Structure 1
Amino acid sequence: MAGGAQKMIDVVQVGGLKVPLASHLSPDFEYQYVANDHYDDATDKQAPFANQLLKQTYQTAIFLVSAGSALLTDLALVQNLPAYQILYDQNLTLPAAIAALFEQKGAQPISLRDPAAVAKLINQDYFGSQMGQKLLFDDLIIEPTFLEDVHQMGHNRLTFAASFGQQSRQIASWESFGTLPADWQLTFLPEATVTSGDVEVSFKLYMISYDGRNTIKAVITKTLAELQVPFALPVYNELTLCKVTVWARGAGVIRLGNCHFRRSRHDRGELMAGGQRLVDRQNMGSELLVYFNPGDLKPPLNVYFSGYREAEGFEAIFMMRNLSSPFMVIGDPRISGGAFYMGSQQLEDDLVRAIQERLDQLHFNNDQLILSGLSMGTYGALYYAARLKPHAVVVGKPLVNLGTVAKNERIKRPGGFPTSLDILLWQTGRADSLGVDELNLRFWRQFGQGNFENTTFAITYMKEDDYDGEAFQVLFRTLRQRFPNVKVLYKGLTGRHNDDTNGIVKWFLAQYNNLLWTDFNRPRPRLKMPENPTSE
């Protein structure tokens, strides 16, 4: 179960009737009551604000708001509170302006009458790290007794075509196990679909004790129809394993991909409070993940497309939050670490709509939008720029000719990025030069439809890139030919694709900060690069 080391999270109550939580919170949290006349003090470590700005050390804190709190009368303070980390008394009658800000910030109304219930909610849903586990396609085992047609599409999916019989029969299982830590609520979500015929697919989940005896605690059966949304698994008081098996009856064609186990935040969001799923209904129910943070509610909206990431979760949340602006992070958990944000027309439309809806929510226009990404994320930023007409695009180590990236796996970069071959197969159904050309054309067909006359491009690239060595040159030439006056800022660094990530990120952040300063009148930035800038 992937997840970073957790630091203790402050639960801060500013003024009002004290809610005695300390004895009910888990060791991951620390309750802190701050009087209304002591919450703003630059010299006091216990004060969360300094000159009405939230201190950096309180960016991950949870704020509790009850009747009488100074937060109910100070718009500037509320505007600086962290999104999705505000719990307020549901019985309060909020001033209209505060209510609007609470809605923008994703604040949650709750009853404060029972401190134990409040603490239970915090313990269960407001833990620090995003945590998930993927059972990869590579660990999928075909049942030895299944002798009908099975077709493997790289590391993307298995396709079963058969008459499975009138009685449900097991056709596959995962060799690896889902891991349920003690007292954690996890969800289960498979990638699967029936493409034709009259087939009923079900998943049997064997919950097994991890005590040396391998006792089966429960067997849970869920149909594919019931698993179109994440299924909440039982909570156990000891470490438990989950064995996943696939069953079918009837006749037709079934496709199977990966399985996902994620620690649940219930209705607060997917992986993180505020996280959402965009489901590709035409591709096994696979998904993109979207996280939105309203920041300080001032332009621009910064959208970051995550790089290749094998761990479940969003990338660069801290880096984007440190820019202060509203931001979105887009994640791609498909295949082993991402599929470059391409999907069915429905999925791509849903992503464009999700970004546009956040612009509308913030009352911003598209000239107050910046798209950005590193490595795999550059494809998403550039690809969707053609549809969104942003103010700027900021990218590092651009990858746009994905067919060429796959082609380079054979000789130039053997074993360096085998997922590129899976993407070639998935998108074109081929693994030859025609497939390479077709996949390359997918990007340029989209990019060629964009109007970038008023868009600034900031691009840093590796001069000897062994993934897509001509990406920058072709991008630059294409932009200048179509839009002679387009503003392109660029810098090339010596080395292959992964040789100088720190240098790439440093220039990437410098250009981001300069855009915020010069184009949006934000404070002049400090250009110190954070440690592990793209980690969660």
Structure 2
Amino acid sequence: MRVLQIGRDDWSAAARIPSGVAWEFVHVDDEIGFDPALIGRVDVTILDASCDLRNLQAVGKLITPHTLLVEPGVRADPSEDHARFFAQKAALAQDMDDRQGLVDQLPRRYFAKPFGQKLEIRRTEVSPLHASRAWYEGNAYLATDVDHDGDFRQLMMWKENILYENHRALELWPEYVKDEGCEIQLVVQLIQNGTSDVISFHRTYSEAELAEPIVISHESSGYLSCSIFARGHGRVKVGPIHYRHSREGAGHFLPGGRRIVDSRREELFTYFHPGDLTPPLNIYFSGYRPAEGFEGYFMMAGLGHPFLLITDPRLEGGRFYLAGDELEGRLHEVIREHIDALGFREEDVIFSGLSMGSFGALYYGSQFRAHAIIAGKPIIDLAYVAERGRLVRPQEFLTILDIVNFWNKADEDGAPSTADAFTRALLERWRGEPGFGDTKILMSYMQQDDYDDAAYYTLLESQAGKATEVIARGYQGRHNDDSPSIVAWFAGQFRRVIDEYTEARNGE
């Protein structure tokens, strides 16, 4: 990784620089030294002395948000222009009394490539000591009943281990739900590299400790073996274990990445980039992705304006951003929080997404008075997608069956709902007032889509008789046959909508 230090004395002259870290020092008064071509790529920047704004702006393109660490005294009382620069870079006040300690933390917090994956529930094995029947609930949970007091007993274990490398901390988050009469533990063992029987780390985590993600940081590399123990009386449902490279407090996946979680231990993640702090705020929902992390960073960054990335790590590659009221409400609050913090109106927001992300964009976008919703390869009727799978898409995208079979949403009266009922209620809301209101809707869709070939027409029908502006372009093929054309149209329309919005805002 590469570190840029801006200050009055070069830390690398006295501090021990970790292996693999390239250190670049620029004196605050050396204007020539602020040439981006001389500095090159930067992963994290340290500012430990007051610096002329022109010099900071000269290297501004090298500094990504949430990676500018500023000495508290410099950060405390900036000029108005400095404050705007710090806001654009989401600068962090960082105590720098212990320079060596900070330097040692940098490669563990600001590494370049994020990583996230999961131990799937189908890779588990029920303990031979557990007598009760166990069964899979799709790919969501392994369920069983617990009926014993006293000591904890092994319930199940994963047959697959997790690679652990000692230069990166690893974050674990097990999904599970259980009856109140049950109590569980997670047991983690580290099998040292180069051996099959040397256990260099063994730890039992209680439910209280599992309330937050577990961070594994050990001097030995190797493989992590995980198992669940339980006691008490009731039903336990164990889901996958998510494992990710931890930034040890600097964010999730990307520096500044934020985690949202509910009482069912279901997660969503968001990442905010301040851009130029001028409207519109562009919100992008990631598509279906088995690898956990954010999508669309460079496309959205290229637009220049503030943007919010949202990703869904549940099931194999996402649950279409649908959840109980608790998790959905928290995501709604995060979106609202960023709109208010920027001083924008709802009309200054554009929602967007591709495929699974298109559902998130339409579903959440319709809850705000957004300027526009831009969707590629739209999916609206999830029950219809599941129904078509048997003949149109056999043995492909089976996750949709998990979604509709284990539906966890309720109707307006709080009674259990179904995917069909949910879609009917959603379309009824879109048909009503205000519906989409003045929100523009732009869609690129596949004419022979093997997921939801009716999505475009479903949306049009819901807006019949309304003044909603809908712009669409259809392409020949199935859902994944011509993604480059869909993405090109999507990006081109995004730029056009922003240009027209800016012209109207400026009165041109």
Taking structure 2 as the reference length, what is the TM-score of the superposition?
A: 0.90
Counterpart pick for 1:178 among 158, 162, 174:
162
The answer to whether 1:467 aligns with 2:467 is: no
Report the alpha carbon displacement of residue 218 of structure 1 after superposing the two structures with TM.
2.1
d(CA) in 2 for partners of 1:76, 1:37: 9
Report the alpha carbon displacement of residue 347 of structure 1 after superposing the two structures with TM.
0.9
Match of 1:166 in 2: 150
The answer to whether 1:205 aligns with 2:188 is: yes
AA of the residue aligned to 2:38: Q
After superposition, residues 127-276 of structure 1 pair within 5 angstroms as 127-194=111-178, 196-237=179-220, 239-276=221-258
d(CA) in 2 for partners of 1:363, 1:387: 19
d(CA) in 2 for partners of 1:88, 1:71: 14
Match of 2:4 in 1: 12
Deviations 1:24-48 (A, max 9, x none): 043254425365422665xx6126x
After superposition, residues 329-408 of structure 1 pair within 5 angstroms as 329-408=309-388
Instruction: Judge which range, 370-379 or 66-75, deviates more.
Output: 66-75
Report the alpha carbon displacement of residue 111 of structure 1 after superposing the two structures with TM.
4.0
Deviations 1:458-494 (A, max 9, x none): 1000000000010011112322x152x2221110011
Count residues in correspondence: 493
SS in 2 for 1:169: strand
Report the alpha carbon displacement of residue 436 of structure 1 after superposing the two structures with TM.
5.8
The answer to whether 1:503 aligns with 2:497 is: no
Check 1:145–1:213 CA distance in 2 against 1; reply closer, same or farther (3 A cut).
closer
Q: Is the 8 A contact 1:174 1:243 kept in 2?
A: yes
AA of the residue aligned to 2:134: V
Counterpart pick for 1:423 among 394, 398, 403:
403
Check 1:304–1:385 CA distance in 2 against 1; reply closer, same or farther (3 A cut).
same
Match of 1:277 in 2: 259
Q: Is the 8 A contact 2:277 2:306 kept in 1?
A: yes
AA of the residue aligned to 1:472: Y
Root-mean-square deviation (CA), in Å?
A: 2.6
Deviations 1:382-407 (A, max 9, x none): 01112112100011000011111111
Report the alpha carbon displacement of residue 64 of structure 1 after superposing the two structures with TM.
2.0
AA of the residue aligned to 1:188: L
SS in 2 for 1:417: coil
Counterpart pick for 1:33 among 8, 14, 26:
26
Q: Is the 8 A contact 2:43 2:112 kept in 1?
A: no
Match of 1:493 in 2: 475
d(CA) in 2 for partners of 1:489, 1:86: 41
SS in 2 for 1:117: helix
SS in 2 for 1:69: coil
Check 1:409–1:386 CA distance in 2 against 1; reply closer, same or farther (3 A cut).
same
Check 1:439–1:236 CA distance in 2 against 1; reply closer, same or farther (3 A cut).
farther
Deviations 1:232-266 (A, max 9, x none): 113224x2111111111111121211101111112
Match of 2:38 in 1: 46
Deviations 1:100-145 (A, max 9, x none): 6535633222344554333212111010111123111111222223
Deviations 1:186-213 (A, max 9, x none): 121100122x242111111111112133
Q: Is the 8 A contact 1:370 1:392 kept in 2?
A: yes
Q: Is the 8 A contact 1:149 1:162 kept in 2?
A: no
Deviations 1:343-379 (A, max 9, x none): 0011111111100100101001101100000000000
Q: Is the 8 A contact 2:383 2:404 kept in 1?
A: yes
SS in 2 for 1:20: helix
Check 1:213–1:398 CA distance in 2 against 1; reply closer, same or farther (3 A cut).
same
Counterpart pick for 1:414 among 379, 387, 394:
394
Q: Is the 8 A contact 1:158 1:257 kept in 2?
A: yes
Report the alpha carbon displacement of residue 437 of structure 1 after superposing the two structures with TM.
2.7
Match of 2:437 in 1: 453
Identity %: 31
d(CA) in 1 for partners of 2:93, 2:54: 14
Match of 1:514 in 2: 496
Match of 1:319 in 2: 299
d(CA) in 1 for partners of 2:186, 2:429: 39
d(CA) in 1 for partners of 2:328, 2:386: 22
d(CA) in 2 for partners of 1:349, 1:435: 20
Q: Is the 8 A contact 2:430 2:462 kept in 1?
A: no
Instruction: Judge which range, 32-41 or 461-470, deviates more.
Output: 32-41
Report the alpha carbon displacement of residue 222 of structure 1 after superposing the two structures with TM.
0.6
Q: Which runs of 5+ in 2 are unaligned?
A: 410-416
SS in 1 for 2:69: strand
AA of the residue aligned to 2:72: Q
Q: Is the 8 A contact 1:466 1:497 kept in 2?
A: yes
Check 1:418–1:28 CA distance in 2 against 1; reply closer, same or farther (3 A cut).
farther
Match of 1:4 in 2: none
Instruction: Judge which range, 390-399 or 408-417, deviates more.
Output: 408-417
Deviations 1:292-322 (A, max 9, x none): 1111111111100000010111111122111
d(CA) in 1 for partners of 2:275, 2:231: 50
Check 1:77–1:388 CA distance in 2 against 1; reply closer, same or farther (3 A cut).
farther
d(CA) in 2 for partners of 1:197, 1:126: 40
Match of 1:291 in 2: 271
Q: Is the 8 A contact 2:350 2:374 kept in 1?
A: yes
d(CA) in 2 for partners of 1:442, 1:81: 46
Taking structure 1 as the reference length, what is the TM-score of the superposition?
A: 0.86
d(CA) in 2 for partners of 1:45, 1:127: 22
Q: Is the 8 A contact 1:201 1:246 kept in 2?
A: yes
Report the alpha carbon displacement of residue 275 of structure 1 after superposing the two structures with TM.
1.0
Check 1:115–1:376 CA distance in 2 against 1; reply closer, same or farther (3 A cut).
same
